[in-house]
Amino acid sequence: MPLKIEFVDGDLAGRVLEFGDDVETIAVGRDPDRCQVVIPPDERTVGREHCTITRVRGNYYMEMAADRRVSMNGQLMETVQMLPKQCVVQIGPEGPCLQMTTVRADELAATLPQEIDAQSLHRRSSGAADAVDVQALAVETKESSKISAIAVVLSLIVLGLGVAVFFITQDEVKNIEKNQAMTNESMQMIEGEVAGLSADVTSMGVDLPSVLDEARQSTYLVILRDEDGDEHPFGTAWVMAPGKLATNAHVAERFNELTEDELIILRGPNGDREFVAMGASIHPGYDSFAGLWEDYVPIQISATKDSDPVRSAGIAADVGFIYVDETEDIGKPLVIADIEEHKSLQPGDPVGYVGFPVENMALGGVNMTNPVPQTQVGRVTAITDYFNAPAHEGNDLLIQHSLPATGGASGSPLINAQGEVVGLLSAVNFIVVGGKRIPSAASVNFAQRSTLLEEMESPDVNAIQEERTNQWEDRIQTLYASGRLEQRAPEMDDLIACWEAMVATNSDEEIVTGSESVSADIFPLDSLNINPLAMGAGDALGASIYGKQIEMEVKAGTDYLLAVEGDGTVGVHVDAGTSSLQIVDVMNIKPNLKAIAFRVEKAGTISAQVGATDPSGTVGYELRAATISKSTPESVAKAAMRRWIRDLARQDGRKLTGNLVRQWSGSMQPSDDGGVAMESISLEGSAKWFIVAVSMDHVDTNLSIMNANDDLVAQDMQPDWYPFVSIETSESETMKVKLSSPRGDTPYRLFLYKAVEGLGQG
């Protein structure tokens, strides 16, 4: 039966494509060289080769990778799914809609019903197309082989009647028997391969929809009911045993933060069941890892030479329990995968979850009165330790997967094709837009291995975790030693420096950036009121924040940074007031240091809320305005040097400044690979030095420092036009400076600074 495809909307609306029975494969995407159905190139939500339609015995199957979205009649399709006789599919999340119609042969009578029940029909339809084809081929091969064998025997009998006396010998009879035995052996091999293929198709997850549907009745929405009776959904939990529901630690710990008039409610699908939480517990590794990460707060140097905090893949051992008194009608406990099943889990395996994503979703993501759980299907993408690295057995506790999720789905059961819970969805890769977390399009998210739940019930859990915590600390030390991370926690000056560099990078002009303080204050919290300030930390609702509102004058066309630092966890929020502003970035450096970067479009007065969670402590804020100047070699070199001095001063605990010792200028000489220049520098005595090169034409430039023996001392090979390095000497020595670029005649300036005691102009 031919296939007709019609564009329903977009620039190609009304266009019709027809594919005859002789076309077995039809690719759909933006690549005109590889696709038969070509989507306009500006439809960026559609892949170059987004999906494929394959014809198998009169039926058409659509197949796509797990990270490619195709919807049929408004529902997300599986990675392999048979197309009905007529349907509308949407390619990509916001791509064009195509109407698919299978054209029947009019001269043939309709096929009679095949008496296949609905459940079997669903299972057969969702199998992979190639599995159906291979199985059919195997059956044909079996029948063909039997017929061939019979034909061979009949031919030999006829031949034997005519000339048996002359040609048939005992050896030939044995050969015939041998050939027949080989035919039988081949048939057994084909039958074995077909049976194996059937098992493979089952392992691909064709039964996942029914498995997940069954799990829905054991999955609950976790809701905070405040003192006013208002309800706030913030997580998902599921039945592990009568009276005990499993979830994330960051969801369960909210129970221990309840005030006298607050409750945690667990509401079942459709609102027909509801329970009140009576207690909670969390895995001891949750607090251990959080403490380690907050103590270190790893910093990595980005391509623009900024210090960026490294965001962890959620928090380790993020599992816990919520307890309820009632056990009747709570739902069937879900089965947790055993250790052997976990050992066999590997990237590519199908998994799904049932849960209640709510953050930044339409209609609030869920109807709290009659909640309907969402079901997602994807695949395992990697199994690692909590540092995104390979791990030995027992420490491979982070399951990475392609299931889309957002806040509220935390705690959802991650279920394999056998209906067993292998993990708990715990964290989402996200970007921050306008102060809101938006799930990243990369669709690689995180889950905790479900063995951690069983570990919580072990009497040896604390001893197990103590050993694991030591391993985590060693792992962090190894990362620092690799040179990819700096072993220090970021402070206010790091935050300001990152923001200044960000403003410079985003500017349309060639500028470097400094900043000046506009307003600052520090005050105790014990006399302030509780303020329901959004904290934006995971999908927990956050603790009460003690803070106050401040007002500040701002100027049009200026970039500002409002930074807050205090005891406990701090919060900050900005309202435009009488001005007009655009939020550029929300910078959550660590729990007690956060900031909001914004650009003012209209002068006026802004209002801001600042505060912290520890009423016995203090909180301080500072509003800084960016100051800009035209880019010159001197200003670029001085800006880089000041950043170096800031880092040195904090590390050494001294007042330092950078003195310009010498500067050079010249042009690189042509070489086989571009341009090269060599300079010699004399460094006197024991000191710390800073060397920065500036390409006058903004051509990518590399900088290397060698000692007298041509040993490499330091280098900056990042792709930018102002490379710099810092070195330290214990005595006077002469070193070589090598500059290189892809262009032979690149002009440059070279600056040498020395760190000295005291304050100066720099």
| Beta-ladder partners of 654 | none
In this structure, which amino acid lies at residue 713?
V
Range of the domain at 196: 130-204
- Identify the DSSP state of 436: E
% the chain with pLDDT above 90? 30
Residues 308/299, Cβ–Cβ less than 8 Å = yes
Residue 199 lies in a domain: yes
Last residue of a domain, one of 81, 101, 126: 126
Alpha-carbon distance of 563 to 495, in angstroms, equals 8
Side chain identity at residue 54, one-letter code: T
What per-residue confidence (pLDDT) applies to 698? Answer: 86
Pairing verdict, β 37-38 and 25-29? parallel
Residue 707: the pLDDT is 92
What gap in Å lies between CA 124 and CA 519, rounded to an integer?
A: 69
pLDDT for res 463: 93
Report the alpha-carbon distance of residue 522 to residue 569 in Å, rounded.
16
Same domain, 233 and 372: yes
Q: What was the pLDDT predicted at 502?
A: 76
Domain-embedded: residue 78? yes
Same domain, yes or no: 227 and 119: no
> In whole angstroms, what is the distance from residue 182 CA to residue 176 CA?
10
The residue from 86, 105, 126 where one domain ends is 126
Q: What are the start-end ranges of the H helices in 525-579?
A: none
The answer to whether residue 762 sits within a structural domain is: no
Residue 5 has pLDDT above 70, yes or no: yes
- Choose the weakest-confidence range: 279-293, 420-434, 696-710, 738-752: 420-434
Closest CA to 537 of 595, 591, 575: 591
User: What pTM does this model have?
Assistant: 0.46
Q: What is the CATH number of the domain that holds 731?
A: 2.60.120.380
The backbone region for 271, taken as left when phi is positive above 0, alpha when psi lies in -120 to 50, beta otherwise, is left
For 497, the token pair is 């420096």
Gap between the Cα atoms of 550 and 621, Å rounded: 10
* 289 and 327, same domain (yes or no): yes
Same domain, 41 and 190: no
User: With bands split at pLDDT 50, 70 and 90, how would you rate the model's confidence at 759?
Assistant: low
Confirm whether 139 is domain-assigned.
yes
Which amino acid, one-letter code, is at 641?
A: M
Between 698 and 752, where is the model more confident?
Answer: 752
The answer to whether residues 608 and 594 touch, using CB atoms and an 8 Å cutoff, is no
Q: Is residue 20 very low, low, confident or very high in pLDDT (cuts 50, 70, 90)?
A: confident
**Same domain? 269 vs 402:** yes
* CATH code assigned at 115: 2.60.200.20
Average pLDDT over residues 712-729: 87
Which tens digit of pLDDT belongs to each residue from 260-294? 889 999 999 888 889 999 999 999 999 888 777 66
Can you name the residues that pair with 627 across neighbouring β-strands?
A: 514
For the beta carbon of residue 229, count every other beta carbon within 10 angstroms.
8
Per-residue pLDDT band at 762 (split at 50, 70, 90): very low
- What's the pLDDT band for 422 if we cut at 50, 70, 90? very high
Question: Could you give the CA distance from residue 127 to residue 139 in angstroms, rounded to a whole number?
Answer: 17
Instruction: Calculate the CA 380 to chain-centre distance.
Output: 13
Residue 164 resides in a domain? yes
Say how far apart CA 681 and CA 349 lie, in whole Å: 59
Which two tokens mark 458? 């072990």
Query: Higher model confidence: residue 136 or residue 182?
Result: 182
Amino acid at 699: V
How much of the chain exceeds pLDDT 70, in percent? 73
Question: Looking at the predicted structure, is the pLDDT value of residue 153 above 90?
Answer: no
The answer on 223 and 200 residing in a single domain is: no
Note whether 624 and 637 are same-domain residues: no
Buried-state track 262-301, b at ≥16 Cβ within 10 A, e below 16: eebbbbbbeeebebebeebbbbbbbbbbbebbeebbbbee
- The chain-wide mean pLDDT, for the chain, equals 77
Phi-psi region of 408 (alpha: psi -120 to 50; beta: other; left: phi over 0): left
Which of the listed residues 173, 204, 235 is the one where a domain comes to its end?
204
Residues 411, 237: Cα–Cα separation, whole Å:
6
- CA-closest candidate to residue 494, choices 589, 598, 561, 612: 589
Same domain, 618 and 748: no
Provide the H-helix boundaries in 482-571. 492-506
Mean pLDDT over residues 61-89, rounded? Answer: 86
Reported confidence tier of residue 131, pLDDT bands at 50, 70, 90: very low
Give the model's pLDDT for residue 408. Answer: 80
248-257, 561-570, 581-590: range with lowest mean pLDDT: 581-590
Q: Do residue 371 and residue 449 come from a single domain?
A: yes
**DSSP secondary structure letters along 40-53:** PTT-TTS-TT-EEE
Give me the sign of the Cα torsion angle 524, 526, 530, 534: positive
d(CA 194, CA 133): 11
CATH of the domain at 310: 2.40.10.120
Contact yes or no for 88/62 (Cβ under 8 A): no
Bridge partners of 321, per DSSP, are 246, 281
Q: Which residue has the higher pLDDT, 338 or 184?
A: 338
**553 part of a folded domain:** yes
Strand, coil or helix: what is 285?
Answer: helix
Count of the separate structural domains present in the chain: 5
Query: Of residues 240 and 306, which shows the higher confidence score?
Result: 240
Same domain, 358 and 307: yes
The radius of gyration of the chain from alpha carbons, rounded to an integer in Å, stands at 34
Q: Are residues 252 and 360 in the same domain?
A: yes
Residue 19 lies in a domain: yes
Reported as a pLDDT band with limits 50, 70 and 90, residue 442 is: low
Query: Helix, strand, or coil here: 272?
Result: coil
pLDDT score, position 322: 96
Q: Please indicate, yes or no, if residue 487 is contained in any of the structural domains.
A: no
Given a contact cutoff of 8 angstroms between Cβ atoms, the answer to whether 590 and 537 are in contact is: no
Sequence-distant (≥ 6) Cβ neighbours of residue 646 within 8 angstroms: 493, 497
> What pLDDT does 313 receive?
64
CB 466 within 8 A of CB 421: no
Residue 158: per-residue pLDDT = 36
- pLDDT (average), residues 306-325: 76
Q: In this structure, are 66 and 137 located in the same domain?
A: no
